[in-house]
Chains A and B, each alone.
Chain A
Amino acid sequence: MKNDAASRIMNNPDFVELVAKRGRFSWILTIIMLVVYYGFIVLVAYFKDFLSIKIAGVITLAFPIGLAVIIVAIALTGIYVLQANGEYDRLTRKIVAGEH
């Protein structure tokens, strides 16, 4: 790509909107995953007693929390796909169409 085409697209309001929205969304998802996972790891390493609390019969708090981390991971990727397939792809198509 030529640099003048690049600077033209960078000034395209649709591109500015796409980059701002997608960037913010990506970092929010990343931060959620980091907090959830390292929160879990810190619980495992330093708060064993808390995770060992029994909630039903022999089942401890560690089980629903562990399962929740797995579900959060899958859900975050699903949310991203939904969001990107709609709004971000619409903006991208607009930008690409403008270049042809």
Chain B
Amino acid sequence: MSRLFTRFLTRLLAGLPLLAVAAHAFAAEGVGQIDLKQTNWTAIAMFVVFVGLTLVITYWAAMRTRSASAFYTAGGQISGMQNGLAIAGDYMSAASFLGISSLVYLNGFDGLIYSIGFLVGWPIIMALMAERLRNLGRFTFADVVSYRLSSTPTRTLSACGTLVTVAFYLIAQMVGAGQLIKLLSGSLLDYWQAEIIVGVLMILYVTFGGMLATTWVQIIKALMLLGGATFIALMVLVAFGFDVSALFAKAVEVSPKHDAIMSPGAFVGTTAYDKISTISLGVALMFGTAGLPHILMRFFTVSDQKEARKSVFWATTFIGYFYILTFIIGFGAITLVSTNPQYLDAKGALLGGANMPAIWLAHAVGGNLLLGFISAVAFATILAVVSGLTLAGASAISHDIFASVISRGRVNEKTEMLVSKYATVALGVVAILLGILFEKQNVAYMVGLAFAIAASSNFPVLILSMYWKGLSTRGAVIGGFLGLISAVVLTVLSKGIWVTVLGNSAAIFPFSNPALFSMPLAFVAIWFFSITDSSAEAKSEAGKFDAQYVRSMTGIGLDAASPH
């Protein structure tokens, strides 16, 4: 497979000088009107190739997925670099590729503020969590939380935190998928058909290929996305003779906002509330990363703490590099897309909507071929991300709720795996239905909400379970649920839902993101209800801390717990 990709990339690079000439030609005179109603056969052909390849991988993975450990964690045999790529793949969703380049296109520097927020959680995960997660967990992060706490209540909490986070993240991805595919396939596919294609493929990958197929789909997509984005960014630099200051100077000249795109602006806002909101969003992005269930689960796919560390390093490197690319792509789109009437409608707005700058830039620098490739990559990205999310959700249902809470651990591996496959199918169907239900809704708040819930419920409980001896089941459950509920309630009362979705005139909660309040609330509640917990159970839980601590630091006992 890697050979296939090398060959593919070599061909892409071989076409570079030719396309460079083409880029100048396009920029100079344009290549005729783009017809959105016309089906883009290049995109469809490339997408069919991708789907074919991933189905072959799924078949290969299905042959190797016979145990629960293989299903949930690919048997712990993923290497650090592969896992780093897969994590980066989970993180580089279509929303972040199209959304952040679009933010840069519209607001310039502001887009970078957003992407930096997504990146800075990683060093924290590295320093405080990655190794301990690997040493303590088996299949889900609830394994870590319930290591010495009472299993039923803490797994219920973690499963709720997982499912709610996954649901919001999934809806945002599904709605984005439907809109994108409808647009890119011309008149070929309707919105609901696109939803069903995504849902069915995702169910196939996860039920048959488990974590192994999901990981490889994610790795391939990450390479395609990094390769495609690198190529577009390179073509932009070629168009400006590798003179970055010429690129920025041109962007300032042609942008309607001129100099304002070169410094923090509209995104941050001007009122005191807006500024606090910026900080609150920063908290959600930084600590939410450390509480996203589909990301946490990836730490159980590597063999030991050394590979866990390498995963984080590679993930951070790829993600950081990717955000620098999206920044160049956004500025490239200001200079090459916003100035070209073929990408604009009669009023001067972008054809196809606000998320399109990266897609049209691909056309501007690489013609229909690159447009087709990038469209296929965007679709592949959505597929890979929803698969990872669904696997995390299904694991919470089968491993935490079914095997531990309902069956109290008296269940064999075969049954548990079967339940996780049913759960995957059920989640896939729910995702399709929610995607169709939310078609016309504004879902912009949903990813922010997913991060806020992860930061306010999953993260505080998880980190305290690893670091604080005094944590008791009562404290974890009360504080964790308070964080979850307050994050959801405050989001509903904020402008994104209360005004934009529900149509009220003014928001009750004045900030756009709840994390700055809901996360500390969770920490304080966990602390308070733990120290006031004088039950015998709490004492016995504290007594088990030393053994957990030794294992979390050294990995001693790991082999017995996760056979591979």
Contact B262 A58, beta carbon cutoff 8 Å: yes
* Residues of chain A within 8 A of B549, CB atoms compared: 6, 10
Contact B128 A30, beta carbon cutoff 8 Å: yes
Given the known inter-chain contacts A15-B554, A33-B123, please indicate yes or no for A89 contacting B546, CB distance below 8 A: no
B127 at the interface (CB under 8 A from A): yes
Contact A57 B123, beta carbon cutoff 8 Å: no
B334 at the interface (CB under 8 A from A): no
* Residues of chain B within 8 A of A63, CB atoms compared: 109, 262
Given the known inter-chain contacts A6-B547, A30-B123, A48-B268, please indicate yes or no for A69 contacting B262, CB distance below 8 A: no
* Residues of chain B within 8 A of A57, CB atoms compared: 245, 248-249
* Residues of chain B within 8 A of A84, CB atoms compared: 131, 306, 309
Contact A52 B262, beta carbon cutoff 8 Å: yes
Residue of A29, A37, A40, A48 ringed by the most chain B CB atoms within 10 A: A37
Contact A1 B268, beta carbon cutoff 8 Å: no
Shortest beta-carbon distance, B194 to chain A, in Å? 34
Instruction: Digitize A67-93: 1 where CB-to-B-CB distance is under 8 Å, 0 elsewhere.
Output: 101110110111011001100010010
Cross-interface CB contact of A85 among B124, B262, B309, cutoff 8 Å: B309
B320 at the interface (CB under 8 A from A): yes
Closest to B252 in A: A58
Contact A1 B259, beta carbon cutoff 8 Å: no
Shortest beta-carbon distance, B116 to chain A, in Å? 5
Closest to B120 in A: A37
Cross-interface CB contact of A41 among B282, B550, B555, cutoff 8 Å: B282
The answer for the CA separation of A15 and B329 in the assembled complex, in Å, is 49
Contact B126 A59, beta carbon cutoff 8 Å: no
Cross-interface CB contact of B116 among A30, A40, A59, cutoff 8 Å: A40
B310 at the interface (CB under 8 A from A): yes
Chain A interface (Cβ < 8 Å from any Cβ of B): 1-3, 5-7, 9-10, 15, 18-19, 22, 25-27, 29-30, 33-34, 36-38, 40-42, 44-46, 48, 51-52, 54, 56-60, 62-63, 66-67, 69-71, 73-74, 76-78, 80-81, 84-85, 89, 92, 95-96, 99
Could you list 11 further interchain pairs (A-B, Cβ under 8 angstroms) beyond the known A63-B109, A70-B116? A5-B550, A26-B127, A33-B123, A45-B279, A48-B265, A62-B262, A69-B116, A77-B312, A78-B313, A96-B554, A96-B555
Chain B interface (Cβ < 8 Å from any Cβ of A): 109, 112-113, 116-117, 119-120, 122-124, 126-128, 131, 245, 248-249, 252, 259, 262-265, 268, 275, 278-279, 282, 286, 305-306, 309-310, 312-313, 316-317, 320, 323-324, 543-544, 546-547, 549-551, 553-557
A sample of 13 cross-chain residue pairs with beta-carbon separation below 8 angstroms, ordered by A number, consists of A5-B550, A29-B123, A30-B123, A38-B279, A60-B263, A62-B109, A70-B323, A73-B120, A73-B122, A74-B317, A77-B317, A78-B313, A96-B556
